[in-house]
Structure 1
Amino acid sequence: MKIQHKQNLPIPSHSVYWTLVIAAVLTFLSILTCFSETRPNVIILFADDISPRELPVYQSSVWTKPKGGDTSDPKYRAHTPVLDRLASEGCYLNSVWGATVCMPSRAMMMTGRYATRTKWWDNRDLGKIRTPKGERTWYLFESSPIGMGQIALMGGYASVWAGKTQMQVQGEDFQRFGFTEGMIGTGDEMDIRNFKYGFRTTIVNVDGKPAVKNLDSGKLAPGYPLARRSYGFNPHQVVVNEKGKKAGLEWWPNTPEAQASFSLNTYGPDIETDYGLDFMERQHKAGKPFLIYHATHLGHGDFDWLNPDSGNKWPGTPVIQWDGKRYHRTEPDITGSKGVYDTHGTVTDPGLHRHINYCDYIMWRYIEKTKALGIYENTVFIFAADNGSHKFGKTRVDQQRGVHVPLIIHASNLTKKGELNALASLVDMVPTLADIMGVKIPENYELDGKSLWPYLTADAPEPHDWIYSYKKDKQLARGRKVLRDGYGTWWDVSVLPEDHCSFPEIKDWGSVSEQHREEREMLLKVLEKNNIYETEYNAPR
């Protein structure tokens, strides 16, 4: 049953609100004087629906097979030589949490705050605010005016947001996240009905039940009942302020040259990466540090338009090969139309592992570009994901399946190397970026995250004694030894099992250590403090 939230909603004074926000930004910009030319660049590759167990560096004994479910078959194991090297020469953290699904997790990543502040509780379960035009979602750039993009802006960085948004972005709203440019793979927030490019499905009613109709072939097809836009081959893309121009939002391909090269063989993740590489070169020539936030769709399920009757969850990617030193990509050669296609061996078989392999290839392209520009040593590389793998963790609140995410960080000045057991969260990204970029966040601006940078680059202690997450009214929290999941079950997490989920359940508290019991009391206080879904669901007064 849907909970009825009866809390009175605030009516914001937008002129006062934005006056204060602009004044704050201008104040910070005014106190930023001479920057060192060695300020590090930052490249973040943020994947979709990928648990740590899918990456070889995390050494799980189990991973996901092509149609979903568990396997230990080596042929379905991802191959990630580039990410492996970043993790070994840099570091990877094995106890990092996001949320259980995309929207609240991405809100954590971009704001440094939990839903207790942003009110983004779950996908499409978002707190409201009352305006003179009526009630609507409380946008992240309103609840959290100092987010990832604004940190880059205050640090004097050029920034690009590529790939997935799912942040209610529509035209001018993109500007309010602070990013300079964008190459966006569209989602539900964009109306594409009159857009002539790209694959699409829709939902139709068959015998009273929703069914997927492939608009390319005009036929019903297997797939979960959601209207989809292609983010892979023949994708839907939007460019924002293309190449730094104040042009706002435009459908891509937006020029005669781009339109001439667009075809079935156009692959969304490549278009986004190409844009990112061009952005890097432009900013390097301008002598300006940059942030790339590439929130790739890779890892998320997609309809397989090239094999529409297959029911594939993770369609194939362009073929890539690693020769021990570099990647080689086979140019796609797809022919056909209206649901009947031949890939001529230039597209891989399906599977989550193929998506992860392509993430590795994308990161390699970014690394090679920094080397060509002579800025590799002055660039921070970060790989993470938003939530657990579909059909293993995504949406789940048992143990830490849904919230457990990978985090790999590589930088030339790290003092911590290899596997790290420190607790961390996606809310830590904003304060970490602030430290990297030399931005001081106001003391009265509250964040839930803590910067990882003093711990990773100096002798500072681990940033957290506990981490926290949620799905609607279900709460999760863990310390170094104890986890309480969304069903209220307690687990001993002092050792990460080989399969990443076979934690011992704690039924007898007399059988565990005093430290276990002390952590339990600490976590109960954390959960009690943050248990506000029913009482403070909407924007505060």
Structure 2
Amino acid sequence: MPKAVTIVACLVAYSSVVGTAFGQQSKPNILFILADNIGYGDVGAYGGGELRGSATPRIDQLAAEGLRLTQFLVEPSCTPSRAALMTGRYSIRSGLSLVAVAGTPFSLPANEITMAEMLRDAGYATAIFGKWHLGGQTYSQPQNQGFDEFYGIPPGDTWDAFGMIRQGHQTKSVDIPLDKGPHIVEAKRGEPLKLVKPYTEEVRRGIDWELVDHGVDFMKRQTAAGKPFFLYLPISRTHFPNLPSERFEGASRIGQFGDSLMEGDAIVGAMLDVLKELGIEDDSIVVFASDNGPDGPGASRFGTDMPDMGTTGPYRGALGDVSEGAIRTAAVIRWPQRIRPRSSYAMFSIMDFFPTFAEVAGGEVPDDRPIDGIDQSDLLLGEDDKGRREQLLTFVGSDLVAVRWKQFRAYFSDVSPGRSGPGGATLMGGIGSGAAPMNGYPKVFNIESDPQEEHNIGEMYNWVLGPLLNAVGEYKATLVRSPNPPAANMTKF
């Protein structure tokens, strides 16, 4: 073969390889690490970390390399936030505006379209390893809601489920043998759940590293196959009971919570290291976020000598409340060479990930139902530093209890002592708290000047009620064509 022809043939072959590689990289991998009950002030990049006796160097590194959101807003507790993340919709639209409890009928509806379904349709391999907590009904399980692979605790349970066997023995109410209690489970797409092993206290201590192993294996397989992946890694840290693995027991200076936080930081670091080793760091979006604020004061479980709780930083509230400390927490997004490292005060909801990922991954947002998430890709890519969100509603069960517009928050139910202790401007939202109706006018707080929500400015700033109630009106208008299913409720029949 003449030399010129050989050169041309090589160039064509090289061009084909480069084109294929570029085509693979045009859809970024997505690694979403969802922490559990980490407060706004726990992580070093948000004012905690070493200052609180529990260093978080790997999360801090991620924050330095990516977009650190300082106004990342979620729902008050586990299930509602996870439903909002997966659907891009307020959790009440799925009937999941309370924490799912095993044995109850509340479950993600079969007709919901999840982020995993959207990304799988866009050509992604999808996996979840960890906690689903969107109900145990077969149609709600992750392998039937868009995920190719699932490994973790039972889909209707949370991390303390292993305690039921001991609690049953202690109260002499039920005697559950180990093989009939909660199990670690797994499933492939469309298959029934398979029991792997009993979920015991010992398994609880090491479960996160099992999740890491599954995640690493999944990323390696998809990278070798040249297929973009969505890996959803909802880890246990720092959900009570914070039982650290042996390697991290005593690692911090603040007891089990601090040990657990440092273990979570190491998990993030392990996943980042694998991305680098695989050579896909630049082609991967990494998100680290928490589902809600931390457990409140007085939390002391499993004999720990310190309260098993985090901190909300400057804000009032805790897990299960609806004040700022419950629904504002940490979130960092890194995409090397695409997202400019910086801090942003733009309002960003956990629901916004759905349409944002759809935009950057070439997915489709459903147009047959209300989508409450907003495409924030311009914010991520630095084309609009203000973001596109100005308002957010907060629900508990069937009730709309609060609304944010810019820096103002209005409450539609009067406050009562919640998990954050007496005297707080907290409302409700977890198991064991409540809210009383108000007399016609909401209470209004300026979160920026009054992060503890101590001074009701509703009378002085009455003009704020217009845009606040506008946000409510816009939501109500969507219910005409798309009414919500019955809201979760375990007290009114």
Q: TM-score, normalised by structure 2?
A: 0.72
Corresponding residue to 2:237 among 298, 301, 320: 298
User: How far apart are 1:37 and its partner, in Å?
Assistant: 0.9
1:351 counterpart SS class: helix
1:120 counterpart SS class: coil
| Alignment CA distance shift 1:348-1:149 (3 Å) | farther
Specify every segment of 5 or more residues in structure 2 that has no aligned partner in the other structure, as ranges: 1-19, 297-316, 415-441, 488-493
| Equivalent residue, structure 2, for 1:463 | 388
Which one-letter code corresponds to 1:507 in the other structure? I
| Equivalent residue, structure 2, for 1:201 | 165
Q: Give CA-to-partner distance per residue, 1:56-80, whole Å, 9 cap, x none.
A: 21126xx9xxxxxxxxxx6743311
Is residue 249 from structure 1 mapped to residue 193 from structure 2 by the alignment? yes
| Equivalent residue, structure 2, for 1:71 | none
Rounded to whole Å, the distance in 1 between the matches of 2:256 and 2:332 is 22
| Equivalent residue, structure 1, for 2:95 | 119
Is residue 538 from structure 1 mapped to residue 485 from structure 2 by the alignment? yes
1:140 counterpart SS class: coil
Corresponding residue to 2:334 among 384, 406, 410: 410
| Equivalent residue, structure 2, for 1:360 | 265
Correspondence 1:157-172 to 2 at 5 A: 157-170=124-137
Is 1:316–1:347's contact at 8 Å kept on the other side of the alignment?
Answer: no
2:343 counterpart SS class: strand
Is residue 36 from structure 1 mapped to residue 4 from structure 2 by the alignment? no
Is residue 506 from structure 1 mapped to residue 450 from structure 2 by the alignment? no
Correspondence 1:1-400 to 2 at 5 A: 36-38=23-25, 39-59=27-47, 76-124=52-100, 137=106, 139-142=108-111, 144=112, 146-170=113-137, 173-186=141-154, 188=156, 201-204=165-168, 236-241=183-188, 248-252=192-196, 267-302=206-241, 314-320=242-248, 350-391=255-296, 393-397=318-322, 399-400=323-324
Rounded to whole Å, the distance in 2 between the matches of 1:116 and 1:352 is 31
Specify every segment of 5 or more residues in structure 1 that has no aligned partner in the other structure, as ranges: 1-32, 64-73, 129-135, 218-226, 230-235, 255-261, 303-313, 321-342
2:218 counterpart SS class: helix
1:252 counterpart SS class: strand
Is 1:53–1:59's contact at 8 Å kept on the other side of the alignment?
Answer: yes
Is 2:107–2:137's contact at 8 Å kept on the other side of the alignment?
Answer: no
Q: Give CA-to-partner distance per residue, 1:427-452, whole Å, 9 cap, x none.
A: 11111221221113244443100122
Is residue 479 from structure 1 mapped to residue 467 from structure 2 by the alignment? no
Is 1:202–1:228's contact at 8 Å kept on the other side of the alignment?
Answer: no
| Equivalent residue, structure 2, for 1:427 | 351
1:374 counterpart SS class: coil
| Alignment CA distance shift 1:293-1:80 (3 Å) | same
Which one-letter code corresponds to 2:446 in the other structure? D
| Alignment CA distance shift 1:175-1:125 (3 Å) | closer
Is 1:138–1:539's contact at 8 Å kept on the other side of the alignment?
Answer: no
User: How far apart are 1:300 and its partner, in Å?
Assistant: 1.2
Is residue 454 from structure 1 mapped to residue 378 from structure 2 by the alignment? yes
1:484 counterpart SS class: strand
User: How far apart are 1:189 and its partner, in Å?
Assistant: 5.4
Is 2:40–2:325's contact at 8 Å kept on the other side of the alignment?
Answer: no
User: How far apart are 1:474 and its partner, in Å?
Assistant: 4.3
Q: Give CA-to-partner distance per residue, 1:467-512, whole Å, 9 cap, x none.
A: 22221214222122211235343111235x7xxx4245233644x6
Rounded to whole Å, the distance in 2 between the matches of 1:456 and 1:211 is 54
Rounded to whole Å, the distance in 1 between the matches of 2:35 and 2:379 is 24
2:186 counterpart SS class: strand
**Larger proportion of strand:** 1
Is residue 522 from structure 1 mapped to residue 467 from structure 2 by the alignment? yes
Rounded to whole Å, the distance in 1 between the matches of 2:75 and 2:400 is 11
Tell me the matched-pair count: 408
User: How far apart are 1:154 and its partner, in Å?
Assistant: 1.1
Correspondence 1:479-498 to 2 at 5 A: 479-485=405-411, 487=414, 488-495=442-449
1:100 counterpart SS class: coil
Rounded to whole Å, the distance in 2 between the matches of 1:213 and 1:347 is 37
**Larger proportion of helix:** 2
User: How far apart are 1:316 and its partner, in Å?
Assistant: 2.8
Is 1:318–1:347's contact at 8 Å kept on the other side of the alignment?
Answer: no
| Alignment CA distance shift 1:125-1:189 (3 Å) | closer
1:388 counterpart SS class: coil
